[in-house]
Structure 1
Amino acid sequence: LLLQALSKAGMSASDIEWVNMKQADAAIAFSKGDVDAWVTWDPYTAQGQVTQQAKLLTNGDGLSQNRDFILSTQQYAKKHEAVNEYLVKYLSEDMTWANEHPKALTKLLTKALGMKQTIVAKMVDRRDWTLTPMTKAIAKEEQTIADVFYENDLIKQRINVSDDVIYVSE
């Protein structure tokens, strides 16, 4: 996201000073003013906005998709196809419930995450919890990200995302 946002602004990775930190350390550094900007994800983005009055400079809209993935080893996925189908089916049902019950979800996540309800509510309100099947188009998006990482020396070896996708639906 940062690389794409910089590119959109006519900048490159060399135009900024990168500081790679764990989320907890980054939150502290940001709150103390030791870093000027913080690239993160929810609930940390919401936490910065609520507790530190941080200004959201940009999000992934038009730059990248905010996707979550279900991962397993290739061996497990191939050996347990029925389990995979059930997992996707039941998670999809759970995500449908999450979209239809934001207040109940906020209450559950507030307790599970141990965060303030205002932070969790902000995160829940701006997210679509729909489970999207893996498609060739999504694999292509991920390939673009992998290529950007390689071109900016964030990874040392070029990878082919589709080599690691077990199930691609259309």
Structure 2
Amino acid sequence: MSTRSTRRSFLTKLAVAPIALSPLAAAACGGNSAVREDGSVDLTKVTLTIGDQAGIQQSLVEAAGVLDGKQYEVRWSQFAAAAPLLEALRSGAVDIGLAGDAPTLNALGSGADIKIVSATRSVRQYGLAIVVPQGSPITSVADLRGKTVSPTTPGSVGHYLLLSALREAGVPANEVRISFLEPVNASAALSSGAIDAWSTWDPYTAAAQLDQGATVLRDANGLAHGLSFINAYQEALDDPGRRAAVRDFVGRYNKALDWARAEPAENARIYGELSHRPPNVARLVSDRSQRTGGPVDDQVIAQLQEVADNYREFGVLREHLAIAEHVDRGLY
């Protein structure tokens, strides 16, 4: 099937029903210019600002063509990792953003006024991994005792993977020198030998493997559920216009995930163009970033609660998080 006809079939399924508010909700929004007198939302007057990491989500929806025909304006804001993205979300600089389970929990634990509105799950989890330089004598996680490892940023999925892998191997975390480095600095440190291992995610894992010859010491299979989430700023959800746009975007984004699984080569090509990644890296990232999207149901909440409890045991979260209290199920 051609890309054009594939796009058309997806867009046919994306017919958006008129979005109306109850009289009470319309009254609550006061002078919101996106709300008509009859309580319906005029999406042409709404701007949705979306936080993205390394261009992956923007390239996905542009490759799939799922934003064609949308009525609201979309602005993208790019970040190197989840931590700065979530900080922007917490401040209201972006309305929504996609992040992994661990950084989402870290943001919630720090009191961020955000809600989880949608879930995605990896088909393959090999893009999240602990890697070591080419020719490294380190052959097992147990060999990391006394070594320097960067789990990228604090509270990241890389941080969670490292702590989980160390626990699995029976290595106390205080027997490893942990050095938090932003992805660009961590890549340089791995290449130069300044660190012995790097716990990170795609596209950085793929680039380390293909550009530097790094090898995977331990991937996330069996240690993580492969969950990521679309998180929303509470103020955006409280605004009728932006809430309607978020609901519409979530539906379109899930269709883009379907498209990416059906058209991996085209997804890789466009991701490479937008991110300026070499074709071999773009293909590997595309293959490993295949996901399914859906609501935050009871199973997802239970699995995220497990991660939260582990993170508290690791000492990253200071207090217990009741995950169900931080979910907005009203967008499905």
What is the TM-score when the length of structure 2 is the normalising length? 0.48
Q: Which residue of 2 aligns with 1:114?
A: 276
Pair 1:156-2:318 in alignment: yes
Give 1:13's aligned residue: 173
Higher relative contact order (CA 8 A, sep 6+): 2
Q: Which residue of 1 is the match for residue 205 of structure 2?
A: 45
Deviation, 1:64, is 0.2
DSSP 3-state at the match of 1:131: strand
Alpha-carbon separation, structure 2, partners of 1:62 and 1:121? 24
Stretch moving more, 132-141 or 43-52: 132-141
Select the residue among 298, 303, 309 that pairs with 1:141: 303
Give, as a single letter, the amino acid of the residue that structure 1 aligns with 2:288.
R
Paired residue for 1:166? 328
1:74 matched residue in structure 2: 234
Structure 2 residue 184 is matched with structure 1 residue 28? no
Q: Comparing 74-83 with 120-129, which one deviates more in the overlay?
A: 74-83
Rounded Cα–Cα distance in structure 2 between residues aligned with 1:28 and 1:66: 27
Once superposed, what is the RMSD of the aligned Cα atoms?
Answer: 2.1
Higher-Rg member (1/2): 2
- Residue identity over aligned pairs, in percent, reads 27
Conservation of the 8 A alpha-carbon contact between 1:2 and 1:39: yes
Q: Does 1:54 align with 2:214?
A: yes
In the aligned structure 2, how far is the partner of 1:77 from the partner of 1:59? 35
3-state SS in 1 of match to 2:167: helix
Q: How many Å separate the matches in 2 of 1:86 and 1:77?
A: 13
Alpha-carbon distance between aligned partners in 1 of 2:179 and 2:304, rounded to the nearest angstrom: 24
Give 2:273's aligned amino acid.
K
Runs of 5+ consecutive residues of structure 1 not aligned to the other structure: none
Q: In the alignment, residue 258 of structure 2 is paired with which amino acid?
A: T
How far did 1:85 drift? 3.1
23-32 or 78-87, which moves further after superposition?
Answer: 78-87
AA aligned to 2:174 is S
SS of 1:30's equivalent in the other structure is helix
- The structural deviation recorded for 1:79 is 4.5
Q: 1:130 to 1:168 in 2, by over 3 A?
A: same
CA contact (8 A) 1:106 1:121 kept: yes
Pair 1:90 & 2:239 matched: no
State the 1:135 CA deviation. Answer: 1.6
- The residue matched to 2:291 in structure 1 has which SS? coil
Q: In the comparison of the two structures, how many residue pairs are matched?
A: 170
What is the rounded CA distance, in whole Å, between the counterparts of 1:83 and 1:162 in structure 2? 23
Distance 2:223 2:210 in 1: 24
What is the rounded CA distance, in whole Å, between the counterparts of 1:102 and 1:123 in structure 2? Answer: 10
One-letter identity of the residue aligned with 1:32: S
Q: CA deviation at 1:83?
A: 3.2
